[in-house]
Amino acid sequence: MAPLIALEDVTKNYRMGDVEVRALRGVSLTIEKGEFLAVMGQSGSGKSTLMNLIGCLDRPTSGRYRLDGTEVSAMRPDQLARIRNRTLGFVFQSFNLLSRTSALENVELPLLYAGVDRRTRHARARASLERVGLGDRMHHTPSQLSGGQQQRVAIARALVNDPRVILADEPTGNLDSRTSVEVMALFQELGRTGITVVLVTHEADIAAFAGRVVVLKDGRLLSDRRQTPAPAVPRGEEAA
Amino acid sequence: MNLLEVIRVALRALLRNKLRSFLTTLGMIFGVGAVIATVAIGEGARSQVEATFASMGTNLLVILPGTTTAGGARGGSGTQPTLTWDDLKAIRTELPSVRYAVAVLRSGSQVLSEDANWTTQIQGTEPDFFEIRSWPMELGTRFTQSDVDSGAKVAVLGATVAEKLYGANANPIGHVVRIRNIPFQVVAVAGKKGQSPFGQDYDDTVFIPVSTFMAKVQGGLQKFIAGQILVSGVTAARAQEDVTALLRDRHNLRPGEDDFFIRNLAEVASAQEESSRTVSLLLAIVAGVSLLVGGIGIMNIMLVSVTERTREIGTRMAIGARAVDILLQFLVEAVTLATCGGLLGIIAGVATARWMTALFHWPVLFRADVVLVAVVFSALVGVAFGLYPAQKASRLDPIEALRFE
């Protein structure tokens, strides 16, 4: 079976003022369905650029990118928007929820752009929120929720369209260690249901929860190793 | 995403910032309110002018005889009798563009009732005169063609004369008034016509048959009309052309030698209307400028909003919004702001105009088409001034937008 994500000698250059930045200098990477992959590297290593490419927010300068069997590296912006909507789910460091908008409506947003009717939208958003354990917080606005809860709303939003891949960019960067572990537990669970998770982080103890860790340096793959993921059990509950 | 959903999303976004949305629409509210109020007041004034001129009669021409020139002194219009009774007959019978044509002879005289007197204007004319002026009787029946033919001594009193001679609300029908010592039987009191645009009281007059006038009040010239001819045309302009051609032909005149004058009252009326229309237009321009300012206000706030919500835009793009979805969302937000402003402006404008009426007794006239145009125009203002911010939003790079602090 073809891998879910297949990057082949991908490069990405962009200009910053007068300087040509070679953010990726030839990266080849395949990710299978259900894998939980952590991308690590120092700032400037190209991990964000890699994430944007995998997330179809950007197109590579050269190289090929096949997502779920489809070549996406040459797609037009509207086609990419459709891929992002149907195949991918995004989780951001700062949650990026709409303020003064209920959790339910936030989660419904991708379905709105997918053209799903109102009733189905409600039902699926509800189910998605229940899946992340927020069934009782549906009508709360972000300001009425804790950071961990907000991130779980964001994960529910990423999941609502039944994506093949969840892309998480430093999802625990704004969370304390206890809620970080809760979020990682959620990601591990997604992997078990066949959803691929790609996580960008610079924290080794967060990467430890992934089953595979890729390290980038200066736009190239430095290492790619599989590991036994650490059990995501919040501290203090280990004994239980 | 269908349009209904887009509108719903836009409304949500606007309601998230209620105070700002309201303040943004204020410009539109004032703009549209000004349009509605000024046009209502302008139209009110115009319809009043129209009503005034309609009371003079519609499509009215006044034909006056020419002038004499004696020793270099020109006598002014009407000093030389040039219009004949045959001319009148020809105008009446030969021109299809003429509906009615009558002679009007005038003379000032004292009128006596049994126990009062009043000096007024006696007008000798024909029954069609009342058709031309669309002048109904208040009491009784006006004199007829057979009264004219027989030279009957009957009189129709103007409302003012009736009041001066017999008091208000009296019924003078059947009474006898004396004009130049000749008894006339009162057959009718004409309805109240009010004042001319120049303050002359239309009702201060007595009408008698033209034949009686010539025989008893002011004798003289049998062949010529010692007064004027009133003509009501199908259209004033057409009738004026035809009458001019006919009279030139009958008097053997070349253009420029006319021995008669034609006054076209429709022209006077349209000049009056023109001036009130000019005022309306000026007001509308001022109102249009304030709409423009309102539109700029909306653009300003939309630009601020796009910058402020850059991350929201990035997020929406990341989860699958296409450029056109973002464009539509912001465009619909702008149009919604503008249209809501327009609708509130209509309410404000109507209220202002009514208030003006109550305060200054200005007549106002609301026109449905103006209201419709105001709504459509404010929506267009929303499109025009919302397009640039919306385009700016839709062209954001999602990566940049997500990174925006």
Q: What is the DSSP letter of A101?
A: S
Interface check A55 vs B, CB under 8 A: yes
Q: Which pLDDT tens digit goes with each residue over B287-307?
A: 788 888 889 999 999 999 999
Q: Which pLDDT tens digit goes with each residue over B351-375?
A: 998 998 888 888 888 888 888 888 8
pLDDT at B62: 87
CB nearest to A157's CB, from B317, B319, B399: B319
Please give the structure tokens belonging to residue B13: 């976004």
How far does the CA of residue A114 sit from the closest CA of chain B (Å)?
7
Distance CA B396, CA B106 (A): 83
Q: Which residue is closest to A53 within chain B, CA to CA?
A: B399
Domain range annotation of chain B = 3-52+271-403, 103-229
Q: Where are the alpha helices (DSSP H) in chain A?
A: 47-54, 77-86, 103-114, 118-131, 147-159, 177-192, 204-207
Contact call for A109 and B319, based on CB within 8 A:
yes
Q: Are A9 and A20 in contact (CB under 8 A)?
A: no
Write out chain A residues lying below 8 Å of B317, CB-based. 57, 81, 84
Distance CA B98, CA B240 (A): 9
**What would the DSSP string read from start to end of B92-120?**
HHH-TTEEEEEEEEEEEEEEE-SS-EEEE
pLDDT at A240: 42
Least confident of A117-121, A230-234, B300-304, B332-336: A230-234
Q: What is the DSSP letter of A231?
A: P
Q: Which residue is closest to A100 within chain B, CA to CA?
A: B16
CB nearest to A115's CB, from B1, B311, B398: B1
Contact call for A81 and B322, based on CB within 8 A:
yes
Write out chain B residues lying below 8 Å of A81, CB-based. 317, 320-323
The proportion of chain A whose per-residue pLDDT surpasses 90, expressed as a percent, equals 82
CB nearest to B320's CB, from A58, A96, A114: A114
Q: Is the pLDDT of residue B319 over 50?
A: yes
Q: Are A93 and A119 in contact (CB under 8 A)?
A: no
Q: Which pLDDT tens digit goes with each residue over A40-76?
A: 998 889 999 999 999 999 999 999 999 998 999 889 9
Write out chain A residues lying below 8 Å of B402, CB-based. 57, 92, 96
The pLDDT of A185-207, averaged and rounded, is 93
A88 bridge partner residues: A165
Q: Is the pLDDT of residue B349 over 80?
A: yes
Q: Of B376 and B77, which is predicted with more confidence?
A: B376
Angle at B350 between CA B348 and CA B355, to 5 degrees: 95
Contact call for A92 and B324, based on CB within 8 A:
no
- Under the banding of pLDDT at 50, 70 and 90, the label for residue A106 is very high
Rounded CA Rg of chain B = 34
How far does the CA of residue B300 sit from the closest CA of chain A (Å)?
22
Q: Is the pLDDT of residue B234 over 60?
A: yes
Contact call for B399 and A113, based on CB within 8 A:
no
How far does the CA of residue A53 sit from the closest CA of chain B (Å)?
10
Contact call for B319 and A78, based on CB within 8 A:
no
Q: Is the dihedral of CA B261, B264, B269, B273 positive or negative?
A: negative
Contact call for B399 and A99, based on CB within 8 A:
no
The proportion of chain B whose per-residue pLDDT surpasses 70, expressed as a percent, equals 93
Instruction: Provide the residue type at B287 as one letter.
Output: A
B60-65/A70-71 β-pairing: unpaired
Distance CA B130, CA B232 (A): 11
Contact call for B318 and A99, based on CB within 8 A:
no
CB nearest to B399's CB, from A57, A110, A112: A57
Q: Of A101 and B56, which is predicted with more confidence?
A: A101
pLDDT at B78: 57
Q: Is the pLDDT of residue A237 over 70?
A: no
Q: Are B40 and B47 in contact (CB under 8 A)?
A: no
pLDDT at B5: 84
Q: Is the pLDDT of residue B265 over 80?
A: no
The pLDDT of A188-214, averaged and rounded, is 93
Q: Which pLDDT tens digit goes with each residue over B384-402?
A: 999 999 999 999 999 999 9
Distance CA B211, CA B214 (A): 5
Write out chain B residues lying below 8 Å of A99, CB-based. 16
pLDDT at B77: 58
Contact call for A115 and B2, based on CB within 8 A:
yes
Distance CA A41, CA A50 (A): 11
Distance CA B63, CA A114 (A): 78
Contact call for A101 and B317, based on CB within 8 A:
no
pLDDT at B133: 83
Question: Is B191 strand, coil or helix?
Answer: coil
pLDDT at B34: 85
Q: Is the pLDDT of residue A239 over 60?
A: no
Distance CA A79, CA A163 (A): 16
Write out chain A residues lying below 8 Å of B321, CB-based. 81, 113
* Helix or strand run (H / E) with residue B250: helix B236-251
Write out chain B residues lying below 8 Å of A89, CB-based. 319
Contact call for B1 and A112, based on CB within 8 A:
yes
- Under the banding of pLDDT at 50, 70 and 90, the label for residue B259 is confident
Contact call for A57 and B320, based on CB within 8 A:
no
Mean pLDDT of chain B: 86
Would you give the end-to-end CA distance of chain B in angstroms?
28
Interface check A90 vs B, CB under 8 A: yes
Domain range annotation of chain A = 97-162
Write out chain B residues lying below 8 Å of A157, CB-based. 319
Contact call for A96 and B320, based on CB within 8 A:
no
Q: Which pLDDT tens digit goes with each residue over A146-155?
A: 999 999 999 9
Distance CA B194, CA B342 (A): 41
Contact call for B311 and A101, based on CB within 8 A:
no
Q: Is the pLDDT of residue A12 over 90?
A: yes
The residue among B2, B1, B28 whose CA lies nearest residue B336 is B28
Q: What is the DSSP letter of B195?
A: B
Q: Which residue is closest to B323 within chain A, CA to CA?
A: A78
Angle at A129 between CA A174 and CA A141, to 5 degrees: 60
Q: Of B224 and B166, which is predicted with more confidence?
A: B166
Q: Which residues of B touch A (CB under 8 A)?
A: 1-2, 5, 9, 12, 16, 311-312, 314-325, 398-399, 402
Q: Which pLDDT tens digit goes with each residue over B44-99?
A: 887 877 777 766 666 788 888 877 666 666 666 556 678 888 888 899 888 888 88
The residue among B46, B50, B48, B54 whose CA lies nearest residue B277 is B46
Q: Are A195 and A34 in contact (CB under 8 A)?
A: yes
| Cα B241 from chain centroid (whole Å) | 24
Chain A residues 190-229 with CB within 8 Å of chain B:
none
Q: Are B260 and B65 in contact (CB under 8 A)?
A: yes
Q: Are B358 and B302 in contact (CB under 8 A)?
A: no
Question: Is B91 strand, coil or helix?
Answer: helix
A62 bridge partner residues: A11
Distance CA B316, CA B324 (A): 12
Q: Is the pLDDT of residue B2 over 80?
A: no
Distance CA A8, CA A28 (A): 4
Count contacts between A and B (CB, < 8 Å).
66
Instruction: Provide the residue type at A38 as one letter.
Output: A
Q: Are A27 and A219 in contact (CB under 8 A)?
A: yes
pLDDT at B228: 86
How far does the CA of residue A18 sit from the closest CA of chain B (Å)?
18
